[in-house]
Structure 1
Amino acid sequence: MTETTVTGVARPPRPLVATLLGVSTMTIMASATITPALPGMERHFAGQPHAELLVRLVLTMPGLAIMVSAPLLARLSGRTGRVPVLAACLVLYTLGGGSGLFLDSLPALLAGRALLGVGIAGVMTTSTALLADHHDTSDHGRVLGLQGAAMGFGGVVALLLGGVLAAVDWRGPFAVYLLALPLLVLVLRYVPEADAQQPPDAETATPWQPRLLGRYAVMFLGVVVFYTVPTQAPFWLAEVGGAGPAAAGALIAAVNLVMTVVGLNFRWLRARWDFPVLVTAMFVAFAVGLVVLGVAGGLATAAVGMVVVGVGIGLQNPAVNGWVVASVAPGTRTKALGLLTSALFLGQFASPLLAQPVADAVGLGRTFVFAGVLAAVVGVVVAVVHFLRRR
């Protein structure tokens, strides 16, 4: 029995949607899964040259590969179809991610992580495009919200499962990447290509038009400010509240839970407000949460700040992804989403590079406050541009 949207268009079968949502959870596991394994990995490779630096590059290498490969894979999917690229990239994801189970040199491990990054790039761009392709435009808010919720839930699972497996052996968390194999089977069984038609009244643009570049910049700046939380918050929580790794991990997992709750309710938010308003609200949440976190004098206040930041993270993926999807024709969705994915991971790569000198100069608390002020400024710019365009 099929459901229908508010416009009377049949919704796709539930196995198809569930498969694509499951695939989306794989993208959030790129770094979170192996974070608990880093100390054990560093001990294991202590005898190799530059082990301390190379172990940290194991965490960031997928992001570098994603930045480079996402636009190329998006272009390829326009020629071969989205499903073949998604299936091939799930294979690369499995091989690259699972390589940590047996590789025993850091250069080889880094090569495997680069392969994982290529797989993630293809999975991110094609899964979002396929979700949009298989749903009527009126249903995009609901399904992209569900995707955001799935990614938040996947982050919680990755943190918890990675911690448990790392307690057994540092290689244990790499087994989580093998979950892509059953998802590959489900993709081949349940996910066809979609003949997505552009609604006659839809706003369209090529992926390189200025307004699209502005939306990529919104994603980049949003990631730059919120990524101060996973990279800097554990040290700040220890400083202001004496929080150990377990407490810090629990609070970061709570942020992912908030992201899940926001994603589940995004359909109602999208029905009431348009994308620029939601993006403005995202930056307001970042600004308030980061400032509260930065001025916190104890763990409880810091936790409140992190939860508010989680609201912004919950809005980010469905709002910015939806804004870009709504702005391009179906045939160019993967190209635009490929560029958006590159902007996202460029922000992840740039955030610690920008934040660390500030933290060294003025301290972690003021770094969070400065990040909050930057978020507020970007939110004001988005709101003003939206107001002027409506005028």
Structure 2
Amino acid sequence: MPRTSAPRTESWRSPGTALWVLVASGTLTVMAGAVLGPVVNRIGTSLGVSQSRAGLVVTTHGLFIVLTSPLAGGLIDRYGPRRPYVLGLALYGIAGAAGLIVETFPALLVSRAALGVAVAFVYTSITVLIYNLYEGERKDRAMGLRGSANSLGAAVWPLVGGALGTLSWHGPFAVYLLALPLGLLALLTVPEPAIEPGDTGDGGIRGAVRVVRRTPLLPLVYGLYFLANLLLYAIVVYYPGLLSTFDVTSSLAISLYLSALGTAGGVSAYYYDRIKRRFDFRQLTLVALALWTVGFAVATTAASRAVAALPVVLFGLGQGLVFPTVLLWIEELVPAGRQGQFSSYVATFGYVGQFLAPVLFGPVAGEFGLRVVFGVAAAGVAVALVGVAVALVGVGGRLAMSG
């Protein structure tokens, strides 16, 4: 039955107290794969599988996030975000930490699939909780802090995984246990928001299609997040090869460049609420695309280690703007009772973008070289920049005329 919850009033369950729990647990969705990157090769060797099969350890959970996010969104709309959030954290801790004890590759993949289900529920629940626990600039601030924590987590978690991996390939799996005390804190501090009744009927595919037809900006917003993740993983996969042309080959040195991306994203997301006072969603989208265009263009011509740092910083700055913009824009565009459903599609588009990066850019790298990969990315983003500008002007004009 649909929820009819009332807002919690206890001071220890205030939105202010809950914010830091939400932000901390939000980093777990990034950590899910990032913490294992440094030990993938050791996992393959220890379990007797090829390196390509060992890579499934860091991709299987992404597949299950794509598959289960819409289900998670529908259940959150029906029953509220708090219970799925707490239960998702519990499943995350158990499934993630299973790698501490499993000794077979199939069992490890099963645990990674369960982890993906958990991430789908945690990711979407956090989004809907922020939508409904905060208003105005406080909501911008909360979503910016979430984006900042995610970006910084992407920089820090691989370093943690690498350090624990020096002890054993099982070591990084211990980090997943952090979800269990966070789940307890969430149970104690995060209130169930009183969500106003909205359009909860027909929450299936037909209903979603009708909403998209009424809201032509929605595909553009999802496409923006898809593009952000596609380009992010183009950097993750191919930038180390580009750095090797400058004799940057050690894993530590490469991680510093990639950490610069996360740090830059953390900075722009941290100040998102202040930036949002000056720019609307459309302008922030164009700024991010412009930063990416310049960054990838520089990557095609970079001739030194110092210059090679600029593209990742520019991309990170844009990414830090895109994450909160997409999630807040979705809330503005969709019916109140369908926030879970439509925010869940953000995760779906994001992880599909990550998966497709090597599929789309791999043939370019193999045939023409790494610099051409980033040249193609620069050209593609430049086309997107012009297209989005035209589309936003067109949609804005139609909306103005209809108003």
User: TM-score if structure 2 supplies the norm length?
Assistant: 0.88
Q: Do the aligned partners of 2:14 and 2:189 also contact (CA within 8 Å) in 1?
A: no
Q: What residue in structure 1 maps to residue 258 of structure 2? A: 252
* Cα shift at 1:140: 2.4
2:109 is equivalent to residue 107 of structure 1: no
User: C-alpha distance in 1, partners of 2:170/2:215?
Assistant: 44
SS in structure 2 at match of 1:194: coil
Distance 1:182 1:207, change over 3 A: farther
Q: What residue in structure 2 maps to residue 131 of structure 1? A: 130
Q: What residue in structure 2 maps to residue 3 of structure 1? A: none
2:155 is equivalent to residue 156 of structure 1: yes
Q: What residue in structure 1 maps to residue 389 of structure 2? A: 383
User: C-alpha distance in 1, partners of 2:60/2:301?
Assistant: 33
User: C-alpha distance in 2, partners of 1:254/1:283?
Assistant: 19
Q: What residue in structure 2 maps to residue 45 of structure 1? A: 47
Distance 1:316 1:373, change over 3 A: same
2:291 is equivalent to residue 317 of structure 1: no
User: TM-score if structure 1 supplies the norm length?
Assistant: 0.91
Q: Give the 5 Å matches for 1:217-236.
A: 217-236=223-242
Give the aligned residue type for 1:265. Y
Give the gaps of 5 or more residues in structure 1. Answer: 1-10
* Cα shift at 1:58: 0.8
* Cα shift at 1:198: 8.6
Among residues 303, 312, 330, which one is paired with 1:297 in the alignment?
A: 303
SS in structure 2 at match of 1:212: helix
Q: Give the 5 Å matches for 1:1-391.
A: 12-46=14-48, 50-197=49-196, 209-391=215-397
Q: Do the aligned partners of 2:215 and 2:333 also contact (CA within 8 Å) in 1?
A: no
Tell which deviates more after alignment, 182-191 or 285-294. 285-294
SS in structure 1 at match of 2:245: helix
RMSD: 2.0
SS in structure 2 at match of 1:86: helix
User: C-alpha distance in 1, partners of 2:376/2:123?
Assistant: 30
SS in structure 2 at match of 1:227: helix
Write out per-residue CA displacement over residues 272-310 of structure 1, whole angstroms, 9 at most, x where no aligned residue. 111111111111111111221222122211111111111
Write out per-residue CA displacement over residues 338-359 of structure 1, whole angstroms, 9 at most, x where no aligned residue. 1111001010111111111110
User: C-alpha distance in 2, partners of 1:92/1:379?
Assistant: 40
Write out per-residue CA displacement over residues 244-280 of structure 1, whole angstroms, 9 at most, x where no aligned residue. 2110011111111111111111111111111111111
Q: Aligned pair count?
A: 374
Q: Do the aligned partners of 1:198 and 1:329 also contact (CA within 8 Å) in 2?
A: no
Write out per-residue CA displacement over residues 96-117 of structure 1, whole angstroms, 9 at most, x where no aligned residue. 2111111111111111111111
SS in structure 1 at match of 2:59: helix
Give the gaps of 5 or more residues in structure 2. Answer: 1-12, 199-209, 398-403
Q: Do the aligned partners of 1:207 and 1:336 also contact (CA within 8 Å) in 2?
A: no
Q: Do the aligned partners of 2:137 and 2:273 also contact (CA within 8 Å) in 1?
A: no
User: C-alpha distance in 1, partners of 2:117/2:378?
Assistant: 32
* Cα shift at 1:12: 4.7
* Cα shift at 1:185: 0.4
Percentage of pairs with the same residue: 32
Q: Do the aligned partners of 1:207 and 1:332 also contact (CA within 8 Å) in 2?
A: no
Give the aligned residue type for 1:70. S
